[in-house]
Amino acid sequence: MEKTLAFTGILSNKAEENPDFFNWNRVKLRYCDGASFSGEGQNKANGLYFRGQRIFEAGMEELMSKGMKNADQALLSGCSAGGLASIVHCDEFGGLFPKTTKVKCLSDAGLFLDATDVAGGHTMRNLYAGVVSLQGVEKNLPSTCTNRLDPTSCFFPENLIDNIKTPLFLLNAAYDAWQFQESLVPSSVDPHGEWTACKLNHSNCNSTQIQFLQDFRMEMLDDVKGFARYDQNGLFINSCFAHCQTERQDTWFADDSPLIGKKKIAESVGDWYFDRRPVKAIDCPYPCDTTCHNLVFK
């Protein structure tokens, strides 16, 4: 784990790189527990102790004592596993502050879907089931979900986002590069490598493969329908092959950043956070968006 990290994008302290949040106190809480700060279990035989929930609470307690308790504005954000953490812990974070504090949450690339892989299996669900049971995550999941669904389902954002009381913004690429590679087409379900070229570069995908990805996008849009009905929530689903767009300068706020309706991600998040306008931005399907910063793998 590096001792120093560049603070770029939403973490930048320069107005020209981060117009709305540059002069905030910004903290990065390093993620190392393997369950989005929600584990609380042990495997004594192997000397494994999972303490993600306690790590989150200890981090928050420390920050509150250092002055965060006096904040008039707060934003819990995270990307990928941290994006899931900012969904799972959103109301808990909101509950730390008095009602007079403006508190919101932002999940970047945390909208992991309970999707079917190309072989008809459930790679992501199987992964989550292992994490949830190994780490004893169930006790830390919201009862609004666990009283009606199994614990593994309650680790998927699609089953949490409709019941979160704190305002939440979901930023996600419709063709999330990580989910494409690890959930939809992991190498284990593509033994002959028919998807290899397509996974490395979307321009190599054939029409059947593109259709599969379009279906994934439609599933994502379907999962956020109810969530989007709430005025307080925000949405930015761009039709890109990307993963994590807030902490990279080129995708957050630069001259050629991704756009939906002429608005960059930084502008959209700022407009939503400061209530300048409602933001429910959903892109047209691939290949219509020419502003994407698509990830291409070697």
Length of the chain: 298
- Locate 157 and state its tokens: 């954002």
CA dist., res. 28 & res. 80, Å (int): 14
**Confidence class for position 31, pLDDT limits 50, 70, 90:** confident
The model's pLDDT over 98-140, given as tens digits with 9 standing for 90+, comes to 999 999 999 999 999 999 999 999 999 999 999 999 999 999 9
Instruction: Write the pLDDT tens digit of every residue in 133-153.
Output: 999 999 999 999 999 999 999
Whether residue 292 has pLDDT greater than 80: yes
In the structure, what pLDDT confidence band is assigned to residue 298 with cuts at 50, 70 and 90?
A: confident
- Res. 43: pLDDT tops 80: yes
Residue 258 pLDDT = 98
What is the pLDDT averaged over residues 281-295? 97
Contact by Cβ (8 Å): 79, 247: yes
- Residue 273: count of CB within 10 angstroms of its CB: 19
Q: Determine contact, residues 93/164, Cβ cutoff 8 Å.
A: no
Sign for the pseudo-dihedral over CA of 148, 151, 153, 159 = positive
pLDDT of residue 124: 98
User: What confidence tens digit (pLDDT) does each residue in 223-277 have?
Assistant: 999 999 999 999 999 999 999 999 999 999 999 999 999 999 999 999 999 999 9
What is this structure's pTM? 0.97
1 pLDDT more than 90: no
How far is it between the farthest Cα atoms of the chain?
58
- Structural contact between residues 127 and 179, judged by C-beta atoms closer than 8 angstroms: no
Kindly calculate the radius of gyration of the chain based on its CA atoms and give it in whole angstroms.
19
Give the angle subtended at the CA of 158 by the CAs of 155 and 160, to the nearest 5°. Answer: 60
Catalytic residues: 80, 176, 243
HSE, CB side, 13 Å, CA atoms: give it for residue 89: 26
Q: What is the pLDDT of residues 50-91, one digit of tens each?
A: 999 999 999 999 999 999 999 999 999 999 999 999 999 999
Q: What is the pLDDT of residues 166-224, one digit of tens each?
A: 999 999 999 999 999 999 999 999 999 999 999 999 999 999 999 999 999 999 999 99
Instruction: Tell me the three state secondary structure of residue 263.
Output: strand
Q: Does position 32 have pLDDT exceeding 90, yes or no?
A: no
- Residue 225's CB: how many other CB atoms inside 10 A? 9
Predicted pLDDT of residue 176: 98
- Taking residue 69's Cβ as centre, other Cβ atoms within 10 Å add up to 13
Q: What share of the chain in percent tops pLDDT 70?
A: 100
Backbone angles phi, psi at 88, to 5 degrees: -60, -35
